[in-house]
């Protein structure tokens, strides 16, 4: 009997099949792209702190490297399934392709729960992982990065092991390193800025002056904060942000018609983007319920917090005035809502284009590593702007030419680019 | 060789004439001495004596020695004859020199006998006991020369007089607390000169803990910086004097009123106490004490007779008050008196009385001793606080990983005063570590490390004389470089990396600071030390212990030490045995931590096989959404959540329902179900995705492995019962199969569900009541 339960890889394949159909890809190319090129499974024996040996399962999936070395995170997850990893590797291929950086898609990890492991044991797992896969990863083949429950420390252990094995320094073999140890400047700003670069171009293409436009943000974390900073620099005005209140365990929207003052709000915000209600009130902000951000009378909505926030119900609350949505969060819009947005003619910059600033900056980290050189923050930001702008127009032009929704156009261009590279290499 | 009588015989003769009491004691000692040397003649002699008595007795009745009849008495001259025979045997079997040596030792041991005699009177006045102890210590080597039996007896007398009559306590303390320690203790004891009060439970626990550790500290370099803060004790009868002095006698019967009445009258009573006077003799002693302490802040702690007793769980019910102690002499004294009278009043507070009623302790004549301690810490700006402090438990009742055993212990610690670590705090997170498994952290990701970090600290404000809770970040930014060993407790947050600051390179005003205890727990020293302390104390106490500690950046101070019984909720309640099988709904025997939840009306169960076969990610997210709505609609703390795999799992929604803490905070328990799949039982999360939230809000966690023998979860029966989900979602029935909301009423009329978890036996049982 066929298993009907949710399978992320099947979902990724279905998504691909739909686009492949629209693109009219031939059967061979479809077969090639709907499955990963390589899948490595291996065991990592670790001598535990209590003297016993435990064997962990490690793996790496390289979905496609036609456009460049694979890129993707390493997850430490207690019940990782290969289907999830395959799906995530596939999405990485499309994500790198949509911003047109010369990288493919990969993903990997180890089945383990770091909550049950000491740092020494985790180090052994990192080193063990690299020992098994060192021949198949590296700055020219496949560049890992931090993901669920891994961080800069894990990346440094892996880099160190890789360098031991290969007898040299290879800072470009992995990303997510701390600044000063091969990490790139501008990483903190990259995602938020990217959201605004694409928005700026979207407005420009519709002949709207960004100066004087108004926006409402959901979330006040890292992405939203830098996005607002840049948006204001361009002359935009933010009238509302929503933020999570840790103490009340719910979110609130902070509204001020005359516009928010970023510096003033940051002063009363904790590390998680939680704004102090009492102080905000004192500064003249109206404190509204968490979902009110969406029904503000603004030109632009920027969801930059959670998934599924614009859904069949909330989409109905969007004001007539709203003409643009830039998706700073991952998957903020449900398919049902997407349909309504498209009917209403709201211009949506889809998540994997709008928030691709992060992966682009990882790419910069890899380049700087390979050159054994570092760029100033200004250089990083300038290059980021160029790439995001170019990526936007790639998607936008296709969407205009074919009269299709931005989200579909983004997938199409990504898949088409990978298909073409595979063809040019003579693989399919 | 000298002719005539040997020296010992001369001494014995003389004693017999001058001091018959001492003579009799020496005879007794000689009998034991000969007996231990296995001299057959002495055994024969003793048997002869026994036979004489039995013979005597059997003339009257047919009976043996030790029967229910009183034994006959032999006459004085026979006794004298018997004594002479003892020395005759000694003279025949042991060299003269040896006898002389022994007799001299015994005579000199008798020099210190007066101390035992004085303390046989357990009502010996404080002032007299000070004198007697001083006299004893003036005798050279008095304690060394005592015979082992006298020695133990004397210590037991002293323990009973000053510390506790609890037999379990005495049994341990007699091996650790020496006579000279008591001399030191009474030097620091304040009380009515003619009184005979004790120091109370908290002081007793601390004194014993310190004495146990003292020997180890000497021998173990790991423990070299362990100490106890300077402490003083006020005897428990001081409160009685205080009550009489102010004619407050009627208060002692208040405890028999209804709790509501007590509660209503308590604010007035407290003020009455605070406006009462202390007898002059106490005031003089306290003045001297303040003079000795100087300008250091002090903490005034309750040390009642019921508190910290080895049997009853009575702790944390009375107050501890901090005093900045920076004013004029007069002001400092009046604050101290005020604090003491407030603690005195707390004996009559509604909560302690209610607690005593529940535990059958209400008729006990509670007396309140006081423990005064120098507050551990340093002055930083206007504030005074220790670099870090906390509480350590031998038994870990908050396990966040199956690799942590109960015996690995747990530490809750904070920057600043330990008050935030001792109690649950609603809006903040103390740091948790397990000294037996130092490597296993609760928070792995950068986000979690920050989210679950301490944001506020308790400090003493020396300027305003107040106990304050302050925001940590501004405090550290302003004064961080003056906090000793701060690099051990904070990390610098830079580019999403948390690293401990490095020496002079650290500029707190320019850095983003997070309290992580990273360096303190990365370097094995601290946790190893705590592990040792817990193990040493629990071995000596023959029980798991609970230790409060504080570090001023140089020394680690033990502030309190007692058998581990924390609060009502965490006492390992016995699993009832008389529950009918059909009333049982949950049975478990793996990774159980102690706790009990009662009065549960609903079980919200996410059916594992249904959840796992949901076709889309949206459906799985919807499950989380429904749980979130139920969390707000069901009566708070009257329901439990059960579901497959890992609640709150991130990254892969198939592993468990993807909720956050805000979706479940009203539940009273979280159950994770690990069903075997393809011959493999999945690892459970132990609630790690919001572990510290669960701890602080006292949500219990239970892992269930239903395929294991001995585990039961009546999921199939839940499926047969009416599903109340429709009451909350009348229009949307699509998730009826996946989520079942079962009411206890439907299982059994007028019933509620109780779940008892007992970490001691590693068993849990859920049933109707």
A178/B438 CB distance under 8 A: no
Distance from CA of A147 to the nearest CA of B (A): 9
Decide if A150 contacts A76 (C-beta within 8 A).
yes
B618/A334 CB distance under 8 A: yes
B614/A81 CB distance under 8 A: no
Domain stops at, among A172, A202, A227: A172
Q: Is B231 on the interface with A (CB under 8 A)?
A: no
B429, B477, B496, B618, best to mutate vs chain A, most A CBs in 10 Å: B496
Distance from CA of A311 to the nearest CA of B (A): 11
For residue B3, is pLDDT > 60?
no
In sequence order, which ranges of B467-616 are alpha helices (DSSP H)?
472-479, 518-522, 525-541, 608-612
B661/A6 CB distance under 8 A: no
Q: How many residues does chain B have?
A: 769
B398, B440, B612, best to mutate vs chain A, most A CBs in 10 Å: B440
Distance from CA of A352 to the nearest CA of B (A): 17
Residue in chain A nearest B453 by alpha carbon: A271
Q: How many domains does chain A have?
A: 2
Beta-carbon contacts of residue B100 (< 8 Å; ≥ 6 apart): B6, B7, B8, B11
CA A34 to chain centroid, in Å, comes to: 21
Least confident among A358-367, B642-651, B739-748: B642-651
Distance from CA of B439 to the nearest CA of A (A): 4
For residue B1, is pLDDT > 60?
no
User: What whole-number distance in Å separates Cα of residue B409 and Cα of residue B438?
Assistant: 10
CB-hemisphere CA count at 13 Å for A333? 27
Average pLDDT, stretch A138-142?
96
Domain stops at, among A141, A172, A203: A172
Q: Do A207 and A270 belong to one domain?
A: yes
In a domain? residue A63: yes
Scanning B440-469 for CB atoms below 8 A from A yields 440-442, 444-447, 450-451, 455
User: What whole-number distance in Å separates Cα of residue B105 and Cα of residue A341?
Assistant: 103
Scanning B684-703 for CB atoms below 8 A from A yields 685-686, 688
User: What whole-number distance in Å separates Cα of residue B18 and Cα of residue B21?
Assistant: 9
Set of chain B residues whose Cβ sits within 8 Å of the Cβ of A49: 439
N-to-C CA span, chain A: 33
Q: Within 10 Å of residue B630's Cβ, how many Cβ atoms?
A: 23
B399, B404, B439, B472, best to mutate vs chain A, most A CBs in 10 Å: B439
User: What DSSP character marks residue B706?
Assistant: T
Average pLDDT, stretch A380-385?
97
What's the confidence (pLDDT) of residue A383? Answer: 97
Decide if B534 contacts B549 (C-beta within 8 A).
no
Q: Do A325 and A224 belong to one domain?
A: yes
User: What are B580-596's pLDDT values in tens digits?
Assistant: 888 899 999 888 888 88
B613/A151 CB distance under 8 A: no
With CA atoms as reference, report the closest residue to A251 among A264, A260, A240, A259.
Answer: A240
Decide if B298 contacts B323 (C-beta within 8 A).
yes
For residue B569, is pLDDT > 60?
no
B646/A114 CB distance under 8 A: no
CATH 3.30.70.1170 fits B230-375, yes or no: no
In the structure, what pLDDT confidence band is assigned to residue A113 with cuts at 50, 70 and 90? Answer: confident
In the structure, what pLDDT confidence band is assigned to residue B59 with cuts at 50, 70 and 90? Answer: low
Decide if B418 contacts B375 (C-beta within 8 A).
no
**Would you name the residues of A annotated as active-site residues?**
107
Buried b (16+ CB within 10 A) or exposed e, A174-197: bbbbbbeebbbbbbbbbbbbbbbb
In the structure, what pLDDT confidence band is assigned to residue A163 with cuts at 50, 70 and 90? Answer: very high
Residue in chain B nearest A112 by alpha carbon: B683
- B416 vs B258, more confident: B416
Q: Do A323 and A216 belong to one domain?
A: yes
Distance from CA of B662 to the nearest CA of A (A): 5
Distance from CA of B488 to the nearest CA of A (A): 17
User: What whole-number distance in Å separates Cα of residue B265 and Cα of residue B253?
Assistant: 13
Q: Do A199 and A334 belong to one domain?
A: yes
In a domain? residue A15: no
B497, B609, B663, B687, best to mutate vs chain A, most A CBs in 10 Å: B497
B450/A178 CB distance under 8 A: no
User: What DSSP character marks residue B677?
Assistant: B
Set of chain B residues whose Cβ sits within 8 Å of the Cβ of A121: 439
Average pLDDT, stretch B18-39?
87
Residue in chain A nearest B403 by alpha carbon: A116
Which CATH number fits the domain that encloses residue A151? Answer: 3.40.50.10860
Q: What is the 3-state secondary structure (H, E, C) of A33-92?
A: HCCCCEEEEEEEEEECCCCCEEEEEEEEEEEECCCCCEEEEEEEECCCCHHHHHHHHHHH
Angle of helix B280-293 versus helix B329-346 axis, rounded to 10: 120
Mean of all residue pLDDT scores within chain A: 93
- Please report which helix (H) or strand (E) contains residue B755, including its range: strand B753-758
A151/B683 CB distance under 8 A: no
Least confident among B538-552, B624-638, B689-703, B710-724: B689-703
User: What whole-number distance in Å separates Cα of residue B517 and Cα of residue B415?
Assistant: 9
Q: Do A67 and A103 belong to one domain?
A: yes
Domain stops at, among A172, A196, A220: A172
Radius of gyration (Cα) for chain A, nearest Å? 22
A246/B451 CB distance under 8 A: yes
Distance from CA of A3 to the nearest CA of B (A): 8
User: What whole-number distance in Å separates Cα of residue B343 and Cα of residue B470?
Assistant: 25
For residue B567, is pLDDT > 50?
no
A188/B495 CB distance under 8 A: yes
Beta-carbon contacts of residue B761 (< 8 Å; ≥ 6 apart): B572, B575, B592
What's the confidence (pLDDT) of residue A247? Answer: 74
User: What are B455-491's pLDDT values in tens digits?
Assistant: 999 999 999 988 999 999 899 999 988 999 999 999 9
User: What whole-number distance in Å separates Cα of residue B440 and Cα of residue B423?
Assistant: 23
Q: Which two tokens stand for residue B682?
A: 């999945």
In a domain? residue A80: yes
Q: Do A256 and A161 belong to one domain?
A: no
Instruction: Using the structure block, give the residue that is written with the tokens 């009623």.
Output: B357
In the structure, what pLDDT confidence band is assigned to residue B295 with cuts at 50, 70 and 90? Answer: confident
What's the confidence (pLDDT) of residue B539? Answer: 93
Q: Do A62 and A93 belong to one domain?
A: yes
Decide if B400 contacts B688 (C-beta within 8 A).
yes
- B379 vs B565, more confident: B379
User: What whole-number distance in Å separates Cα of residue A280 and Cα of residue A276?
Assistant: 6
User: What DSSP character marks residue B447?
Assistant: H
User: What whole-number distance in Å separates Cα of residue B211 and Cα of residue B163?
Assistant: 13
User: What whole-number distance in Å separates Cα of residue B717 and Cα of residue B750?
Assistant: 18
Q: Within 10 Å of residue B445's Cβ, how many Cβ atoms?
A: 16
Set of chain A residues whose Cβ sits within 8 Å of the Cβ of B650: 148
Beta-carbon contacts of residue A360 (< 8 Å; ≥ 6 apart): A99, A101, A190, A194, A384, A387, A388
Widest Cα–Cα separation across chain A: 68
In the structure, what pLDDT confidence band is assigned to residue B568 with cuts at 50, 70 and 90? Answer: very low
User: What are B501-533's pLDDT values in tens digits?
Assistant: 887 778 888 888 999 999 998 877 899 999 999
Q: Is B613 on the interface with A (CB under 8 A)?
A: yes
B496/A78 CB distance under 8 A: no
Query: Domain residues for A143?
Result: 37-172
CATH 3.30.2310.20 fits B378-563, yes or no: no
Q: Is B474 on the interface with A (CB under 8 A)?
A: no
Q: Is B621 on the interface with A (CB under 8 A)?
A: yes
Decide if B413 contacts B390 (C-beta within 8 A).
yes
Q: Are strands B556-563 and B431-433 parallel, antiparallel or unpaired?
A: unpaired
Q: Do A315 and A224 belong to one domain?
A: yes
B402, B434, B444, B680, best to mutate vs chain A, most A CBs in 10 Å: B444
Decide if B735 contacts B657 (C-beta within 8 A).
no
- Please report which helix (H) or strand (E) contains residue B726, including its range: helix B725-728
With CA atoms as reference, report the closest residue to B193 among B280, B305, B119.
Answer: B280
Set of chain A residues whose Cβ sits within 8 Å of the Cβ of B427: 247
User: What are A318-327's pLDDT values in tens digits?
Assistant: 999 999 999 9
pTM: 0.80
- B150 vs A339, more confident: A339
**CA distance to B388, B582, B608, B639, per residue, from B764 (Å):** 36, 16, 21, 17
Set of chain A residues whose Cβ sits within 8 Å of the Cβ of B403: 116
Mean of all residue pLDDT scores within chain B: 87
- Please report which helix (H) or strand (E) contains residue B180, including its range: helix B179-187
A116/B654 CB distance under 8 A: no
In a domain? residue A159: yes
User: What are B311-345's pLDDT values in tens digits?
Assistant: 555 666 788 899 999 889 999 999 999 999 999 99
CA B142 to chain centroid, in Å, comes to: 34
For residue A299, is pLDDT > 50?
yes
For residue B66, is pLDDT > 70?
no
Distance from CA of B685 to the nearest CA of A (A): 8
In the structure, what pLDDT confidence band is assigned to residue B565 with cuts at 50, 70 and 90? Answer: low
Q: Do A142 and A264 belong to one domain?
A: no
Which CATH number fits the domain that encloses residue A307? Answer: 3.40.50.720
User: What whole-number distance in Å separates Cα of residue B346 and Cα of residue B177?
Assistant: 30
Q: Do A194 and A232 belong to one domain?
A: yes
The string of DSSP codes covering B623-649 is: HHHHHHHHHHHSPTTSEEEEEES-TT-
What's the confidence (pLDDT) of residue B551? Answer: 96
In a domain? residue A45: yes
Set of chain A residues whose Cβ sits within 8 Å of the Cβ of B442: 115
Q: Do A63 and A140 belong to one domain?
A: yes
User: What whole-number distance in Å separates Cα of residue B693 and Cα of residue B697?
Assistant: 6
Angle of helix B96-109 versus helix B7-18 axis, rounded to 10: 40
Q: Do A45 and A96 belong to one domain?
A: yes
User: What are B686-702's pLDDT values in tens digits?
Assistant: 777 788 788 777 889 99
In a domain? residue A3: no
Decide if B242 contacts B286 (C-beta within 8 A).
no
What's the confidence (pLDDT) of residue B660? Answer: 83
């Amino acid at each position: 009997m066929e298993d009907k339960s949710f399978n992320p890889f099947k979902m990724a394949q279905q998504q691909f099949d739909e686009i492949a159909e629209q693109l009219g890809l031939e059967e061979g190319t479809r077969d090639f792209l709907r499955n990963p090129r390589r899948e490595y499974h291996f065991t990592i024996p670790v001598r535990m702190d209590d003297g016993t040996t435990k064997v962990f399962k490690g793996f790496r999936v390289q979905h496609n490297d036609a456009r460049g070395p694979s890129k993707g995170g390493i997850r430490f997850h207690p019940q990782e399934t290969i289907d999830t990893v395959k799906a995530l590797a596939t999405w990485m291929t499309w994500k790198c392709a949509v911003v047109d950086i010369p990288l493919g898609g990969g993903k990997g990890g180890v089945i383990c729960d770091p909550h049950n492991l000491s740092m020494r044991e985790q180090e052994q797992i990192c080193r063990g992982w690299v020992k098994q896969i060192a021949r198949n990863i590296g700055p020219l083949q496949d560049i890992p990065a931090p993901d669920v429950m891994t961080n800069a420390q894990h990346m440094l252990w892996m880099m160190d092991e890789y360098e031991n094995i290969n007898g040299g320094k290879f800072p470009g073999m992995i990303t997510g390193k701390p600044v000063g140890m091969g990490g790139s400047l501008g990483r903190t700003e990259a995602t938020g800025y990217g959201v605004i670069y694409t928005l700026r171009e979207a407005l420009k293409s519709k002949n709207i002056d960004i100066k004087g436009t108004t926006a409402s943000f959901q979330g006040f974390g890292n992405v939203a904060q830098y996005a607002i900073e840049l948006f204001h620099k361009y002359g935009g005005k933010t009238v509302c942000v929503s933020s999570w209140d840790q103490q009340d365990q719910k979110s609130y929207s902070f509204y001020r018609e005359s516009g928010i003052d970023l510096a003033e709000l940051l002063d009363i915000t904790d590390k998680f983007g939680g704004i102090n209600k009492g102080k905000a009130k004192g500064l003249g902000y109206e404190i509204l319920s968490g979902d009110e951000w969406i029904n503000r009378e603004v030109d632009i909505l920027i969801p930059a917090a959670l998934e599924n926030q614009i859904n069949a119900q909330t989409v109905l609350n969007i004001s007539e005035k709203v003409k643009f949505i830039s998706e700073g969060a991952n998957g903020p819009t449900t398919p049902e809502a997407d349909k309504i947005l498209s009917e209403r003619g709201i211009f949506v910059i889809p998540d994997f284009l709008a928030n691709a600033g992060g992966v682009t900056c990882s790419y910069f980290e890899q380049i700087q590593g390979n050159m054994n050189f570092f760029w100033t923050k200004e250089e990083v930001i300038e290059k980021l702007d160029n790439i995001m702008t170019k990526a936007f127009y790639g998607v936008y032009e296709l969407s205009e030419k074919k009269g299709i929704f931005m989200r579909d156009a983004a997938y199409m261009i990504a898949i088409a680019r990978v298909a073409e590279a595979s063809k040019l290499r003579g693989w399919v | 060789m000298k002719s005539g009588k040997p020296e010992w015989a001369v001494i014995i003769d003389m004693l017999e004439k001058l001091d018959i009491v001492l003579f009799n004691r020496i005879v007794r000692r000689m009998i034991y001495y000969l007996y231990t040397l296995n001299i057959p003649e002495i055994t024969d002699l003793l048997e002869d004596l026994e036979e004489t008595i039995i013979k005597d007795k059997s003339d009257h009745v047919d009976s043996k020695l030790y029967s229910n009849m009183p034994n006959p008495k032999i006459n004085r001259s026979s006794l004298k004859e018997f004594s002479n025979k003892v020395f005759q045997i000694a003279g025949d079997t042991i060299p003269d020199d040896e006898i002389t040596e022994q007799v001299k030792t015994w005579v000199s041991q008798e020099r210190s006998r007066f101390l035992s005699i004085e303390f046989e009177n357990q009502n010996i006045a404080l002032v007299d006991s000070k004198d007697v102890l001083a006299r004893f210590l003036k005798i050279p080597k008095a304690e060394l020369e005592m015979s082992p039996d006298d020695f133990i007896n004397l210590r037991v007398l002293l323990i009973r007089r000053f510390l506790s009559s609890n037999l379990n306590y005495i049994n341990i303390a007699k091996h650790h607390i020496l006579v000279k320690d008591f001399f030191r203790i009474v030097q620091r004891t304040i009380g009515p000169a003619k009184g005979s009060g004790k120091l109370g439970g908290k002081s007793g626990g601390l004194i014993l803990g310190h004495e146990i550790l003292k020997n180890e500290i000497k021998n173990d370099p790991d423990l070299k910086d362990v100490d106890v803060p300077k402490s003083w004790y006020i005897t428990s009868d001081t409160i009685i004097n205080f009550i009489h002095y102010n004619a407050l006698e009627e208060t002692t019967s208040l405890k028999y009123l209804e709790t509501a009445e007590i509660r209503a009258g308590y604010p007035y009573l407290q003020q009455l106490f605070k406006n009462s006077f202390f007898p002059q003799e106490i005031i003089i002693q306290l003045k001297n004490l303040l003079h000795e302490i100087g300008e250091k802040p002090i903490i005034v702690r309750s040390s009642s007779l019921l508190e910290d007793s080895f049997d009853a769980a009575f702790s944390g019910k009375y107050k501890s008050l901090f005093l900045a102690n920076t004013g004029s002499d007069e002001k400092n004294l009046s604050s101290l008196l005020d604090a003491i009278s407030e603690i005195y009043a707390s004996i009559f507070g509604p909560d302690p009385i209610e607690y005593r009623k529940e535990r059958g302790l209400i008729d006990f004549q509670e007396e309140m001793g006081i423990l005064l301690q120098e507050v551990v810490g340093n002055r930083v700006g206007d504030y005074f606080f220790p670099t870090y402090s906390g509480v350590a438990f031998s038994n870990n009742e908050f396990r966040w990983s199956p690799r942590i055993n109960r015996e690995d212990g747990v530490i809750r610690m904070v920057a600043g005063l330990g008050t935030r670590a001792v109690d649950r705090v609603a809006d903040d997170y103390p740091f948790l570590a397990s000294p037996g498994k130092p490597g296993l952290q609760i928070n792995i990701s950068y986000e979690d490390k920050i989210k679950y970090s301490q944001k506020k600290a308790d400090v003493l404000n020396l300027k305003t004389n107040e106990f304050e809770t302050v925001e940590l970040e501004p405090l550290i930014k302003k004064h961080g470089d003056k906090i000793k060993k701060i690099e051990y407790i904070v990390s610098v947050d830079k580019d999403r990396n948390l690293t401990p600051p490095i020496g002079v390179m650290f500029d707190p005003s320019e850095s983003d600071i997070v309290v992580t205890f990273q360096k303190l727990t990365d370097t094995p020293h601290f946790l190893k030390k705590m592990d040792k302390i817990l193990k040493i104390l629990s071995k000596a106490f023959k029980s798991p212990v609970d230790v409060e500690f504080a570090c001023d950046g140089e020394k680690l101070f033990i502030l309190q030490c007692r058998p581990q019984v924390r609060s009502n909720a965490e006492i390992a309640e016995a699993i009832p045995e008389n529950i009918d099988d059909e009333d049982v709904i949950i049975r478990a025997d793996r990774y159980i931590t102690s706790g009990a939840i009662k009065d549960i009306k609903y079980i919200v169960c996410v059916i594992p096989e249904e959840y796992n076969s949901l076709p889309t990610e949206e459906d799985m997210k919807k499950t989380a959404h429904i749980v979130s709505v139920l969390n707000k609609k069901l009566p708070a703390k009257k329901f439990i959540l059960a579901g497959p795999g890992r609640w709150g799992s991130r990254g892969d929604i198939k592993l468990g329902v993807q909720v956050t803490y805000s979706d479940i905070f009203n539940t009273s328990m979280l159950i994770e179900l690990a069903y075997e799949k393809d011959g493999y039982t999945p690892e459970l999360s132990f609630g790690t995705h919001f572990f510290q939230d669960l701890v602080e809000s006292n949500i219990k966690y239970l892992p269930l492995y239903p395929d294991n023998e001995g585990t039961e979860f009546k999921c199939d029966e839940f499926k047969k019962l009416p599903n109340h989900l429709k009451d909350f979602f009348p229009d949307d029935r699509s998730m009826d199969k996946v989520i079942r909301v079962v009411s206890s009423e439907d299982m059994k009329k007028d019933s509620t569900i109780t779940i008892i978890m007992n970490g001691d036996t590693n068993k849990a049982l859920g049933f109707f009541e």
